[in-house]
Amino acid sequence: MRRSSLPAILCAVMVLAGCARSGNIEIEDLLTPTSAEVTGAIPAPSTPVPPSKVGLGSESEGMPQQPLALMPPEPVPDALAPVVRTTGMPLPSINPKKLAAPAPGHPVVKHRFGDAKPVNFGRASPHALAVHGVDVSRWQGEIDWADLRMHGANFAFIKATDGGDHLDPMFHRNWRAAAAAGVKRGAYHFFYWCRSASEQADWFIRNVPKEPGALPPVLDVEWNGYSSCKKRPSREVVLEKMRVFLTKLEKHYGQRPIIYTAPDFYRDNLQGEFLDYPFWLRSVAAHPSEVYPGRNWLFWQYSGSGLSKGVDGRIDLNVFYGGVEDWHRWIAANTG
């Protein structure tokens, strides 16, 4: 670029940027930094745990592989009654006869996950619920999805994108392999606060297929101290950005997106908001009812130190709120 043209160009950019800010609270600066994120997943451990060492109870190295353990429908424990439903997302009424024989390839498997740092949740333990799953990203490396499924991964949320320019390099491989193994899977986007919401929604749509049977897309909103973006917008701006992103995804995929968040971000921005959206909550030290009082939830991330065959090292563990029939009812209503 020639030096003589630089002042004029800078002036034009400043004028346009000023117009953009005055027109819509969501539009960012025209010159936005690219994201250099290591986000939405735990980092690869320095000393991975060998697959032969993971498991629960009597399971140990050298034992033969057990067949799928199908879980019968079961009621939700009384201890979890205060958070029985996600507000605005009632589970539709479906003929129970249709639920007696789950779709081929998608039976509910009883989990046999281990945990490097187990937590005693008392009577409100996630282990009282039937439908467990995982979330993954590049940091899990090569995953044996058939083995992970056999070990109890009934569903998986797979890191797809963050910001407006980053695609998880393992996304497409994980997306195809999870489906082939019979795992119900959805994709998630880690929101980057230094780019516009519309641009990030477009990036997600560009990279995540619109497929029958996929779980609803997920918007992951957190404060990330490791991010190259140090912005912490006001609550008003955060909510507006989220609305733009969520609306655009729902229009494209025809599914109400799920909101994933962590305690500090929720406390700063989301109490009393988005009551008509399903929530996926991170709560690894206490039951969500203690950490997010008054908030109903659909998925609970209860561990960031899980262990499972099919994965070297640690993996995030999650559970669906409800029994087996609730799961099949929700899947029938929300996966197309």
Residues marked active site are found at: 135, 222
- Could you tell me the two tokens for 121? 């949740």
CB 190 within 8 A of CB 39: yes
CB 265 within 8 A of CB 223: yes
Residues of 95-113 as b/e, b for ≥16 C-beta within 10 angstroms? Answer: eeeebeebeeebbbbebbb
Which residues have CB under 8 Å from 101's CB, separation 6+?
Answer: none
CB 181 within 8 A of CB 148: yes
- Could you tell me the two tokens for 327? 């799961």
- DSSP character at residue 107: -
Which residues have CB under 8 Å from 246's CB, separation 6+?
Answer: 219, 257, 259, 274, 277
- Within its chain, how far is the Cα of 153 from the centroid? 14
CB 28 within 8 A of CB 191: no
* Residues across the chain: 336
Among 41, 71, 97, smallest CA distance to 313 is for: 41
